[in-house]
Amino acid sequence: MSHHKFTIGTEVRLASRVGLFRAAAETYTITALLPHEDQSPQYRLRNEACGQERVSKEDALHATHSDEEKIR
């Protein structure tokens, strides 16, 4: 089982927007580290500007350019 790559407060983008509504947020901030599912770390994400929240697996996320240094 792998460890969480991202930390709380990291800004991320979804790797794919396929199947999302147009109004879905572009970027999210990680608000919680969740248990693994299918051996993949999960995260709770939130976009404050539009109030959207979601849960995502780590392999579906990319750090934004401004937060890439936080995960090295």
List the domain boundaries for the chain: 11-71
pLDDT tens for residues 3-46? Answer: 999 999 999 988 876 666 666 678 899 999 999 999 899 999 99
| Other C-beta atoms lying within 10 Å of the C-beta of residue 42 | 19
pLDDT of residue 57: 95
pTM higher than the cut 0.85: no
Q: What is the dihedral of CA 15, 17, 4, 45, to 10 degrees?
A: 140
Question: What gap in Å lies between CA 6 and CA 57, rounded to an integer?
Answer: 11
pLDDT of residue 9: 96
Residue 62 pLDDT more than 70? yes
Give the model's confidence band at 68: pLDDT under 50 very low, under 70 low, under 90 confident, else very high: low
